[in-house]
Amino acid sequence: MRVLLFSSQHYDQESFTRAASDSTLDLHYQPTRLTLDTAPLAHGYEVVCAFINDELDAQVLQRLAAGGTRLIALRSAGYNHVDLATAQRLGLAVVRVPAYSPHAVAEHAVALILALNRRLHRAYNRTREGDFTLHGLTGFDLHGKTVGVVGTGQIGAAFARIMAGFGCQLLAYDPYPNPELQALGARYMALPDLLREARIISLHCPLTEHTRHLINAQSLNQLQPGAMLINTGRGALVDTPALIDALKSGQLGYLGLDVYEEEAQLFFEDRSDLPLQDDVLARLLTFPNVIITAHQAFLTREALDAIAATTLDNIIRWAAGNPQNLVSG
């Protein structure tokens, strides 16, 4: 069976080639993103394997189905970028990787917290320039601080366990409380209360119609002045221009982003020779108390191997008429 992997980077090729060594699947790698313009590349491929910034709207799905595609195998947990109603109507099955390494994402969120707090990005540049001064690098002890976890599923729980290890007090917001967090001593509460009490807030909920711009001008006003916000969930969980206003006023003291609402046109590409056209991102990058990574929280060897293994298993089981991890179909 022919499988086309869109948006496949060299690390995807390595992990998928390794995982497919014993299988009969015929894997083809396409570095380009799936869009309406690139969808014809999938003509004749029964399976299209897509990542988070590939476009899977109604028009793209129609073109894929017309070209003979019958399965969309997502290499991600999130599926907010897929028009599921259209997929259903066209008889296109959609499968995903519900869990690969919650630790990878949770640990990256913690890396952002530590780097922002202890200003590692500034210290790194300073010592490389021979400047060994410490002014402006004062941090705070994480021990005893209050950390709000928004979305306490697999990643939120892994994050909470790490922060509990630092001696932090945990607050949580999720429509479905997780007993594991309660056992760690987390207090579940309404989001506005969490925002008022927490010194650090980390977002780990999916992007849905209910969570789009969950963090906006109004909710940012509820924060303790100087609070830290970490978003490794999805870019549109936050209203980015409102973040800029909150950073300018000092209401937001630290910001760590691994995701950005307009990332699809930018992330995973080397654009260092080109003028940055996105003025919102350009402004964010000027703040000394902001660290942005380009959707790399998932990027560990363990996660890549698990994504490849589950995706291939999803395809093989679907082909055998025994599908698993179905989102639609």
Q: Catalogue the active-site residues.
A: 234, 263, 295
Burial label for 296, CB within 10 Å (0-12, 13-18, 19+), is middle
HSE (CB half, 13 Å, CA atoms) of 103? 6
Distance, CA of 65 to CA of 48 (rounded, Å):
10
Candidate list 297, 304, 307, 312; residue touching ligand NAD; CB under 6 A: 297
Instruction: Decide whether 33 or 234 has the Cβ nearer to ligand NAD.
Output: 234
Residue 112 near ligand NAD by CB under 6 A? no
Judged by CB under 6 A, which stretch of 27-35, 180-188, 226-234, 262-270 contacts ligand NAD?
226-234
Burial label for 248, CB within 10 Å (0-12, 13-18, 19+), is exposed
Candidate list 34, 42, 205, 236; residue touching ligand NAD; CB under 6 A: 205
Distance, CA of 62 to CA of 57 (rounded, Å):
9
Candidate list 202, 232, 325, 328; residue touching ligand NAD; CB under 6 A: 232
The C-alpha torsion from 65 through 54 and 96 to 216, rounded to 10°, is -130
Candidate list 16, 51, 173, 267; residue touching ligand NAD; CB under 6 A: 173
Instruction: Decide whether 151 or 253 has the Cβ nearer to ligand NAD.
Output: 151
Candidate list 5, 48, 111, 156; residue touching ligand NAD; CB under 6 A: 156
Instruction: Decide whether 39 or 73 has the Cβ nearer to ligand NAD.
Output: 73
Distance, CA of 33 to CA of 45 (rounded, Å):
16
Residue 233 near ligand NAD by CB under 6 A? yes
Residue 185 to residues 160, 169, 224: CA-CA distances in angstroms? 10, 8, 22
Q: Give the interface with ligand NAD as residue ranges (CB under 6 A).
A: 77-78, 99, 102, 105, 150-156, 173-176, 204-207, 210-211, 232-234, 258-259, 295, 297-298
